[in-house]
Structure 1
Amino acid sequence: MSSVVLDKVTKVYPGDYLAVDQLSLKAGDGEFLVLLGPSGCGKSTLLRMIAGLEEITEGDLWLDGQLANHLAPRDRDVAMVFQNGALYPHRTVRGNIAFPLEIAKSDPAMVRERVTELSKALHIDETLERRPGTLSGGQRQRVAMGRAIVRQPKLFLMDEPLSNLDAGMRTELRMEISALVRSLGVTTIYVTHDQVEALTLADRIAILNRGVLQDVGTPAQIYNDPATAFVAAFLNSQQLNLLAATVRTPQNQYVLLDFGPHRLTIPWSDPRAYAISQHTGGQVLVGIRPDGLVPVPENFEGPSFFGRVRTLEYHGHEWLAYVECGVPSAPVPEPPDRRAPANGHSNGSGGLGGLVRRLFPGREEQQHQDQEHVGPHAGSGIHRRSDIIVRLGGRPAWRPNDAARVGVDISRIMIFTESGARIDPPRR
């Protein structure tokens, strides 16, 4: 087994493109750590730096207590599984799996025995004499895993190994990866943009955005107690309800979240109340998951929103209701984009925006007017509907155009600053 420590690691590509920014992270012995985030957030770059396929611009990488910044890839005892399998097309399945042991000049009898045992564990023993071109996508990924596992490395690195497979195959292979890796007890760092993969596979999840580490914790911690609004919104099967509110403390009796046409009251007995009250008179962002809302009768006296059902969506196992309530959704705050060229600020004439201005004179002024029209919380001039999304389960309680009152589980709302940071510190 091996531990991995990243200490303020930064990666800058030519052109001053900042891909990873001052990232510190640790994967313990035998841990299954998942790197999660949207495309282009720096996950694969981080994995390639650990493997030695990319140089580290700044910071230190420690593998099992040894500084590894300048170690050659072959000296790191790391096995990597890529998105496309990267198999040798001229070799059979047996030859692909056995290749690392053959290079190491291992005993041929031991090689045959280990390949046979591993192929049975991966359910590809009937394909040993076939070539990769004749295999399905799932079989090729199993072969790639077998080739990585066969020499029993100290560290597994997996770069979105299931992204090219259909949903059923991903589910099946996901369970096999989890069982196999844990049975071997090898430290594993797994890259994905799929929230379900992260939640089902990980011992801990590290979420990245624009090269910046947003949060680290167990799946339950990250989901139930996110550190930022971005994490809460990204790790969500349905769109997060993110609403802007003004904090008030009327006569110091309680904390009030004022949404304009709606208000939610937080009693002083709530452990979050004091931290929220420090923002009295200012604006905060309130995150509410669709399953934290429930249809209630019109005469309900608890915390609630009211509005009209704009539309219903059928998802097979559940319905979602879009209730128009007069509070526009707030955009998810993003970290500052520090990946623009550091040696030359944009003068407004380059890039996509400059191209649009050259091709469509006057468009910039119209966009400015549109942005003023939709208000400060619309974000980037894009109109955002004043809908609250409510999860209804298997049988809808409403029909389109029905008047609706939505009960709010106050214990499940999440309060963030306008920059997206949690107001009450997450528990880790």
Structure 2
Amino acid sequence: MIAGLEEITSGDLYLDGRHANDLIPRDRDVAMVFQNGALYPHRTVRRNLSFPLEIAKADPALVRERVVELSRALHIDETLDRRPGTLSGGQRQRVAMGRAIVRQPSLFLMDEPLSNLDAGMRTELRMEISSLVRALGVTTIYVTHDQVEALTLADRIAIMNRGVLQDVGTPGQIYNDPATAFVASFLSSQQLNLLSATVRTPQNQYIMLDFGLHQITMPWTDPRAYAVSQHTGSQIIVGIRPDGLTPIGEGVDGPFFSGRVRTLEYHGHEWLAYLEVGIPAVPAPEPPHRQNVHANGDGNGTAGGGKIRSMMRRLMATGDERPDQEIAVGSGHHRRADLVVRLGARPAWRAGEHGRVAVDLSRLMLFTVEGNRIDPPRR
């Protein structure tokens, strides 16, 4: 729709402040890079790169200068006289990006340009894309399923699931203060611990998160206490990342979970432990059908609230499609949780041992059973 290849059914698109819904594609000054680098097989790399400038009838001397300069920046200057069929996948994708960049458009649209490359090549090209678009100062909308690409490349990230906008903000904002449980779980390098709990307020002295076999208390001085207390007697979803749990010994005060260490995983730079604690684990809730979503009554289809301007610099990360699920938190239909705990370079436990982990209350993320954040993100 931004490129003009699909009609916009509702909403408005602005390019550089200009209403662009009805602009024909050639008048939008956008360049696209696809998942599979679409190159002219009969043209050399040099002629593929120069093609957009030739069509624009640019000065031949300027074309030659810009092609050579860009090929050096993309490290493909030694391939200028070769045809695409003789290039590696990484080289072809560099040429495709170069052809988009060479005419210096006002907007780049990149559709998973690195997904077909191996891990090493993706890392290398990711750094090059980041440095190039920032050096050019050109707004770039980059679609990816890879959370690492999203977090490392983005100035702003928009996360979508089934066509429903879940959250939008800077990488730090949506990682540390996700608007939904889906966003929190999607942006976790290790599996996010999502647990079922019931909110209680015993004699109004404190907030208790009742996990069944375990309870964690929050003081009323906690800035989230009032928002959480509105769910007294109801079930909620509590999210905590593995680095929010710290192994401790017996007799240490403070909120904790305990259980049997089921297994350990070695990840080279660290160990992960899976701790059986007997608490129901829940999946990240799916959004309702997009036509029925009216978050906070604003009708804009966003779970995180707020109106989104069409042409902000952003990344779009789309979650995997899954069939509709009915979320029955704590109903017994979900498996028991294995808490994922980061142990560092030297494991504190062995498989089969009893373990205790301290819970960092400030790292808890609290969601309704529908997956919306209870304590509003701090933006």
TM-score over 0.5 (shorter chain): yes
| Aligned partner of 2:48 among 96, 100, 110 | 96
2:58 paired residue number: 106
Question: d(CA) in 1 for partners of 2:345 and 2:171?
Answer: 26
1:40 paired residue number: none
How many residue pairs match? The answer is 347
RMSD: 1.8
2:360 paired residue number: 409
Q: What are the ranges of 5 or more consecutive residues in structure 1 without an aligned counterpart?
A: 1-48, 341-370
Question: d(CA) in 2 for partners of 1:112 and 1:224?
Answer: 47
Instruction: Report 1:309-320 matches (<5 A).
Output: 309-320=261-272
Q: What are the ranges of 5 or more consecutive residues in structure 2 without an aligned counterpart?
A: 293-324
Contact 2:214–2:257, Cα closer than 8 Å, also in 1: yes
Residue 386 (structure 1) shift:
2.5
Question: d(CA) in 2 for partners of 1:257 and 1:395?
Answer: 31
1:145 paired residue number: 97
Is 1:73 the equivalent of 2:28?
A: no
| Aligned partner of 1:193 among 134, 140, 145 | 145
Residue 382 (structure 1) shift:
6.6
2:77 paired residue number: 125
Contact 2:282–2:334, Cα closer than 8 Å, also in 1: no
- Offset from partner CA, 1:21-57 (integer Å, 9 cap, x none): xxxxxxxxxxxxxxxxxxxxxxxxxxxx111111112
Q: Aligned residues: percent identity?
A: 79
Is 1:323 the equivalent of 2:275?
A: yes
2:187 paired residue number: 235
Is 1:262 the equivalent of 2:182?
A: no
| Aligned partner of 2:251 among 287, 299, 312 | 299
| Aligned partner of 1:247 among 184, 187, 199 | 199
1:384 paired residue number: 335
| Aligned partner of 2:350 among 380, 399, 412 | 399
1:207 paired residue number: 159
Instruction: Report 1:39-58 matches (<5 A).
Output: 49-58=1-10
The change in CA–CA distance for 1:324 and 1:317 in structure 2 (over 3 A counts) is same
2:109 paired residue number: 157
Residue 384 (structure 1) shift:
2.2
Amino acid of the residue matched to residue 281 of structure 1? G
Amino acid of the residue matched to residue 311 of structure 1? T
Amino acid of the residue matched to residue 105 of structure 2? P
Question: d(CA) in 1 for partners of 2:243 and 2:169?
Answer: 22
Amino acid of the residue matched to residue 287 of structure 2? P
1:418 paired residue number: 369
Amino acid of the residue matched to residue 184 of structure 1? L
Q: State the TM-score, normalizing by the size of structure 1.
A: 0.78
Question: d(CA) in 2 for partners of 1:292 and 1:146?
Answer: 43
Contact 1:85–1:144, Cα closer than 8 Å, also in 2: yes
Secondary structure of 1:419's aligned partner: coil
Is 1:216 the equivalent of 2:168?
A: yes
Question: d(CA) in 1 for partners of 2:28 and 2:329?
Answer: 48
Secondary structure of 1:112's aligned partner: helix
Question: d(CA) in 2 for partners of 1:82 and 1:192?
Answer: 11
The change in CA–CA distance for 1:302 and 1:170 in structure 2 (over 3 A counts) is same
Residue 338 (structure 1) shift:
4.5
Secondary structure of 1:50's aligned partner: coil
Q: Choose 230-239 or 330-339, whichever is displaced more.
A: 330-339
Question: d(CA) in 2 for partners of 1:152 and 1:382?
Answer: 55
- Offset from partner CA, 1:148-170 (integer Å, 9 cap, x none): 01111000111101111111111
| Aligned partner of 1:279 among 214, 218, 231 | 231
Secondary structure of 2:336's aligned partner: coil
- Offset from partner CA, 1:156-213 (integer Å, 9 cap, x none): 1111011111111111111111111100001111110000001111011100001011
Amino acid of the residue matched to residue 290 of structure 1? P
2:286 paired residue number: 334
Secondary structure of 1:386's aligned partner: strand
Secondary structure of 2:58's aligned partner: coil
1:30 paired residue number: none
Residue 250 (structure 1) shift:
1.1
The change in CA–CA distance for 1:173 and 1:78 in structure 2 (over 3 A counts) is same
Residue 378 (structure 1) shift:
7.2
| Aligned partner of 2:119 among 147, 167, 183 | 167
Contact 2:195–2:337, Cα closer than 8 Å, also in 1: no
Question: d(CA) in 1 for partners of 2:206 and 2:330?
Answer: 29
Contact 2:12–2:19, Cα closer than 8 Å, also in 1: yes
Question: d(CA) in 2 for partners of 1:385 and 1:137?
Answer: 44
2:15 paired residue number: 63
Contact 1:298–1:404, Cα closer than 8 Å, also in 2: no
- Offset from partner CA, 1:199-238 (integer Å, 9 cap, x none): 1110111000010110011111010000010100001111
Question: d(CA) in 2 for partners of 1:311 and 1:383?
Answer: 20
- Offset from partner CA, 1:86-145 (integer Å, 9 cap, x none): 111111000110000011111111111110111111111110000111111111111111
Residue 300 (structure 1) shift:
1.8
Contact 2:239–2:364, Cα closer than 8 Å, also in 1: yes
Contact 1:246–1:259, Cα closer than 8 Å, also in 2: yes
Question: d(CA) in 2 for partners of 1:212 and 1:404?
Answer: 40
1:25 paired residue number: none
2:314 paired residue number: none
